Amino acid sequence: MAKELELKYGCNPNQKPSKIYMKEGELPIEVLNGKPGFINFLDAFNSWQLVKELKKATGLPAAASFKHVSPAGAAVGIPLSDTLKKIYFVDDVELTDLACAYARARGADRMSSYGDFIALSDVCDEATATLIAREVSDGIIAPGYTDKALEILKGKRKGTYNIVKIDENYVPAPIEHKDVFGITFEQGRNELDINEELLSNIVTDNKNIPDDAKRDLIISLITLKYTQSNSVCYAKDGQAIGIGAGQQSRVHCTRLAGSKADNWFLRQHPKVLALPFVDNIRRPDRDNTIDVYISEECMDVLAEGTWQNFFKEKPEVLTAEEKREWLDKMTDVSLGSDAFFPFGDNIERAKKSGVKYIAQPGGSIRDDNVIDTCNKYDMAMAFTGIRLFHH
């Protein structure tokens, strides 16, 4: 391992010189293949912290898919239903627990995960590498790779795929620094341990948060810890299903993440599962087409006759009424927020996406209004008392 590593350029090609380095000691990473860039390493180090914490909190293998220093997806290794295998396009591979975690993380928001950086909490195995090999991705960070997995990954992008190995025992200094406009900022690292104790202060009439929901709330909170603020995260069945990052308004976070959660569930609609795609359609084209099909643009695309580029035959329209009827079946969703909800409108929007359980810091002057709105829908909400801003 080296003390410093020269990079091609910074965030943009005009930002030179660029490097990563340690003020003391050696870098805790080894580049096994490719030449990762500035943003690649920002994604790598943020995503590694996320999956390491998920593994510690749940005891399960974890994976994350990062784009521009925020997760597009994060998950733990829980077996997939046949429907999820189909919408994640992994029904042709024998899945390990780690591969399940990756399939969930990548499958949550396939549009946003295009060209992602991947993090795995455990040694990358052959099954997980097989799934990664067929996706458009910039790179991966993991504590190790089996020989077969490394061979598979080295074959990506004509041999240039970025593969980073990190020392899983590395512990960073307790004080971190960041330079902005020639001025150095200093702060203590956010070492907050996110666990079930944070969910003990349930302030709603409904005091029941089952174990699966507690797990999902913890997943959402750990995900938020490494998501650009403002942010909220919807989670279900061991994975994030909708992440709203970097919005100035809390309700816009809730709407953005809610729309992503809705899309995740709509992809499980029978009409979507039965779409008659043309043979050999490229994976990104298929993903884009599904997104258009379940969006308001669907009727326009079908009416214009461009459907022949993607489908063997013209599919039936998925109507607004059918979508709402299907979304009404989505239940028991968990929602975390990195700061307090200032108004009940966030709860009203969350309800439309099946939210039943909520974890947020509390502390708003309108907490009573937010609690009353939760009580109206028999939701259970815990005040964690902690904020999770990340910048």
Q: What digits encode the pLDDT tens for the residues 141-163? A: 999 999 999 999 999 999 999 99
For residue 312, the tally of other CB atoms under 10 A from its CB is: 12
389 occurs within a structural domain: no
Q: How many CA atoms lie within 13 A of 385 on its CB side?
A: 11
C-alpha distances in Å from residue 307, one per residue of 304, 311, 315? 8, 6, 8
Judgement on whether residues 124 and 201 belong to the same structural domain of the protein:
no
Judgement on whether residues 54 and 91 belong to the same structural domain of the protein:
yes
Q: In the predicted model, what is the mean pLDDT of the chain?
A: 94
Nearest to 290 by CA among 304, 274, 279, 303: 274
- Residue 281 corresponds to which tokens in the numbers above? 């359609």
The residues near 79 (Cβ < 8 Å, ≥ 6 apart) are: 95, 97, 100
353 occurs within a structural domain: yes
- In eight-state DSSP terms, residue 335 is E
Q: Which amino acid is at 234?
A: Y
Asked if residue 178 has pLDDT above 90, the reply is: yes
Q: Cis peptide before 342, with omega less than 30 degrees from 0?
A: no
Judgement on whether residues 139 and 84 belong to the same structural domain of the protein:
yes
Q: With contact defined as beta carbons under 8 Å apart, do 369 and 345 qualify?
A: no
Predicted model pTM: 0.95
Judgement on whether residues 161 and 184 belong to the same structural domain of the protein:
no
Asked if residue 300 has pLDDT above 80, the reply is: no
Q: What digits encode the pLDDT tens for the residues 125-138? A: 999 999 999 999 99
Q: What digits encode the pLDDT tens for the residues 189-205? A: 999 999 999 999 999 99
Checking 272-280 for CB contacts under 8 A at 24+ apart, the result is 272/87, 272/318, 273/83, 273/86, 273/87, 274/315, 275/311, 275/315, 276/311, 276/312, 276/313, 276/315, 277/310, 277/311, 277/312, 278/309, 278/310, 278/311, 278/312, 279/312
280 occurs within a structural domain: yes
Q: Which amino acid is at 146?
A: T
Judgement on whether residues 191 and 261 belong to the same structural domain of the protein:
yes
Considering the candidates 68, 86, 271, 390, report the single residue annotated as catalytic: 68
Considering the candidates 33, 46, 162, 230, report the single residue annotated as catalytic: 230
Give me the mean pLDDT over the 340-354 stretch: 95
Asked if residue 311 has pLDDT above 70, the reply is: yes
The pLDDT confidence band at residue 16, using thresholds 50, 70 and 90, is very high
Task: Give me the number of domains the chain comprises.
Answer: 3
Considering the candidates 67, 156, 214, 225, report the single residue annotated as catalytic: 67
Residue 121 phi/psi, 5° resolution?
Answer: -80, -20
Judgement on whether residues 160 and 24 belong to the same structural domain of the protein:
yes
Judgement on whether residues 20 and 152 belong to the same structural domain of the protein:
yes
The residues near 139 (Cβ < 8 Å, ≥ 6 apart) are: 34, 36, 40, 44, 117, 118, 161, 162, 163, 164
Judgement on whether residues 341 and 202 belong to the same structural domain of the protein:
yes
Q: With contact defined as beta carbons under 8 Å apart, do 24 and 3 qualify?
A: no
Considering the candidates 23, 158, 207, 391, report the single residue annotated as catalytic: 391
Which of 3-7, 50-54, 205-209, 314-318 shows the lowest mean pLDDT across its residues? 314-318
Q: What's residue 93's pLDDT?
A: 94
Q: What digits encode the pLDDT tens for the residues 77-108? A: 999 999 999 999 999 999 999 999 999 999 99
233 occurs within a structural domain: yes
The pLDDT confidence band at residue 1, using thresholds 50, 70 and 90, is low
| DSSP element (H, E) containing 239 | strand 239-245
Judgement on whether residues 82 and 148 belong to the same structural domain of the protein:
yes
What is the helix, strand, coil percentage profile of the chain, to 5? Answer: 40, 20, 40
Give me the mean pLDDT over the 293-315 stretch: 78
| Residue 232, SS3 per DSSP | strand
Judgement on whether residues 149 and 207 belong to the same structural domain of the protein:
no
The pLDDT confidence band at residue 305, using thresholds 50, 70 and 90, is low
91 occurs within a structural domain: yes
Q: What digits encode the pLDDT tens for the residues 243-270? A: 999 999 999 999 999 999 999 999 999 9
For residue 210, the tally of other CB atoms under 10 A from its CB is: 12
255 occurs within a structural domain: yes
Asked if residue 299 has pLDDT above 70, the reply is: no
Asked if residue 306 has pLDDT above 90, the reply is: no
Judgement on whether residues 108 and 40 belong to the same structural domain of the protein:
yes
The pLDDT confidence band at residue 292, using thresholds 50, 70 and 90, is confident
Asked if residue 210 has pLDDT above 80, the reply is: yes
The CATH number linked to 214 is 3.40.140.20
Judgement on whether residues 107 and 205 belong to the same structural domain of the protein:
no
- In eight-state DSSP terms, residue 298 is H
40 is catalytic: no
Range of the domain at 54: 4-171
391 occurs within a structural domain: no
67 is catalytic: yes
Write the DSSP string, 32-85: EES---HHHHHHHHHHHHHHHHHHHHHSS-EEEEEETTEEEEEEE--PPPHHHH
Pairing of strands 137-142, 116-120: parallel
Q: What digits encode the pLDDT tens for the residues 349-377? A: 999 999 999 999 999 999 999 999 999 99
Q: What's residue 308's pLDDT?
A: 81
